[in-house]
Amino acid sequence: MKKLFCILLCYCSLCQAQEYADYKLSDYKLPDIKRSSLDFKLNSDGSFATHETSDNTVYYDIKGAIDATFNRYCTTRKFIGDQSARIYFAGFKNNSTRDENGENYKQSNLNTEISYVNDSRFYIRPNTWFWFVGGDVSFTYYQNKAKDTEKELGIFIRPKLGLGWGRIERVQDARQAVYLLDKFSDYGLMKKHLSNEEVNRFAQLISTVKNKRFLDSRLHLIDEITTVDSFLIANDYIRKEGAKYFTTLYDYWLYGDLHQRKSGFEVGLEGMPEYNYYTCSNFNQKNHEPGITVSLSAEYEKPINLRWQHSASLNFMFLYMHNTFEADYADKTVYEQSLEHLQTTYTLGYYPNSRTYASLGVYNICHFANNHKLLKHFFDSGFRGKAYYYFSPQFRLEASAEIGYQVTNKEAGPDRWEGTYMLTLNYSFF
């Protein structure tokens, strides 16, 4: 089995052109990108029926929803921001609901959700110190009217402030650029070998054109292919155009960035006070949960070369909550709960071509939970791996597996081995 795996790895490596093997993905920097979108969705459906009765009763059933979502993403050398806002209204009404006695009655409900999420980083100096600013807030309201009226209200507020150092760059666009240049060179379509600076400019063009806002995905694809082609022609990089050139460009544009690649190191400390409020008219239920979360995280991404990738992470989180619960059917309850969670991971990734990948990693988890009744803790360590092998258009193999051993106290259950696996084979006979 080991020999077969080694043969497959060697085969994948040999199948790739070596023209740009010395290019370093870690040298790539994203250009300034700003992208905004506002999507609105409205739907409604219903039904009605008449019955020949003395009062000519009309039975109806109608429902609908309005959903509006705003997203904004911006990245520059001094700022990275990701914001989203959503407003959602949904309603339902009918007069044909039956109770346990078979009698009809009217029913209606209203569901409302409003939310906003902001994750912004302001760099004091590029790639060094930065501030975390942001948080999230949400409002939910539900009302159901039938024989009785039920109302639910939820409010969640969690601002965020922190300090960090470093920067993680997304470099899969640079990998896609190298895929294209390698294949063009393989087919003898290139007039020259591009320098690392020229490869970076080509990759930045790819990143820029991908983030243009288009309402029609077909027009977006046409613009992307046209922009890349114009860049290669204008800089006199391509020897000749033809079917092989355009089919290669189209193929690697669609499938050359399937696997996310990153580069860099980042560490951050965040503080997030929060308040969660929930009330329900049934039995006058009320729940107040003020609390605070402190998080210390570190992430390391290192492309060894075009095919191999080191990925490591560390995350420590401390959570404290003060809970107050009230209801007609129970006495007022006040209790505290805390949570400490530490997780470390390491993954070795292998990306031999645009459609094939494999990864193998190890993880360790330490978890302590303390509420007003139980103290639970567990330690979990194990291995996980996954692979997708593209033998041919008619033969593809996908697999993943994870195995670990968990040590716990008696409140959390017995010590145990845990494992999962998934295997998918796709083969088209004809």
Quick check: 333 pLDDT over 80?
Answer: yes
Residue of 248 and 106 predicted with greater confidence: 248
Residue of 315 and 128 predicted with greater confidence: 315
Residue of 235 and 50 predicted with greater confidence: 235
Structure tokens belonging to residue 156:
């969640």
Long-range contact pairs involving 210-214 (C-beta distance under 8 Å, separation at least 24): 210/173, 211/33, 211/34, 211/35, 211/73, 212/35, 213/35, 213/36, 213/37
Quick check: 10 pLDDT over 50?
Answer: no
Q: Which of the four pLDDT bands, split at 50, 70 and 90, describes residue 12?
A: very low
Q: Which of the four pLDDT bands, split at 50, 70 and 90, describes residue 125?
A: confident
Quick check: 400 pLDDT over 80?
Answer: yes
Residue 172 half-sphere exposure toward CB, CA atoms < 13 A: 14
Q: List the single range of 231-235, 346-350, 408-412 with lowest mean pLDDT.
A: 408-412
Over residues 10-25, the mean pLDDT reads 65
- pLDDT value, residue 101: 62
What is the distance between the alpha carbons of residues 337 and 370, in angstroms, rounded to a whole number?
6
Residue 180 half-sphere exposure toward CB, CA atoms < 13 A: 29
Residue 205 half-sphere exposure toward CB, CA atoms < 13 A: 19
Residue of 374 and 390 predicted with greater confidence: 390
Q: Which of the four pLDDT bands, split at 50, 70 and 90, describes residue 99?
A: low
Closest by CA to 90, choosing from 140, 148, 39, is 140
Q: Which of the four pLDDT bands, split at 50, 70 and 90, describes residue 98?
A: low
Structure tokens belonging to residue 36:
């905004």
Quick check: 4 pLDDT over 60?
Answer: no
List, for residues 168-180, the tens digit of each pLDDT value: 999 999 999 999 9
- pLDDT value, residue 11: 44
- pLDDT value, residue 51: 62
- pLDDT value, residue 256: 87
Quick check: 298 pLDDT over 70?
Answer: yes
- pLDDT value, residue 415: 86
Q: Which of the four pLDDT bands, split at 50, 70 and 90, describes residue 386?
A: very high
Quick check: 81 pLDDT over 90?
Answer: yes
- pLDDT value, residue 324: 92
Quick check: 1 pLDDT over 50?
Answer: no
Q: List the single range of 92-106, 145-159, 176-190, 364-378 with lowest mean pLDDT.
A: 92-106
Residue of 194 and 409 predicted with greater confidence: 194
Residue 264: strand pairing partners: 168, 301
Domain ranges, ordered by start, for the chain: 2-23+172-255, 33-163+277-427
List, for residues 335-385, the tens digit of each pLDDT value: 889 999 999 999 999 999 888 999 999 999 998 888 766 677 889 999 999
Q: Which of the four pLDDT bands, split at 50, 70 and 90, describes residue 409?
A: confident
- pLDDT value, residue 9: 47
Q: Phi first, then psi: give them for residue 202, nearest 5 degrees.
A: -65, -45
- pLDDT value, residue 13: 45
Quick check: 276 pLDDT over 80?
Answer: yes
List, for residues 311-323, the tens digit of each pLDDT value: 999 999 999 999 9
pLDDT mean across residues, the chain: 88
Q: Where are the beta strands (DSSP E) in 99-211?
A: 104-123, 129-145, 149-170
The helix (run of H) or strand (run of E) holding residue 364 is strand 357-370
Long-range contact pairs involving 366-372 (C-beta distance under 8 Å, separation at least 24): 366/340, 366/341, 366/342, 367/339, 367/340, 367/341, 367/342, 368/339, 368/340, 368/341, 369/337, 369/338, 369/339, 370/337, 370/338, 370/339, 371/335, 371/336, 371/337, 372/335, 372/336, 372/337
- pLDDT value, residue 392: 79
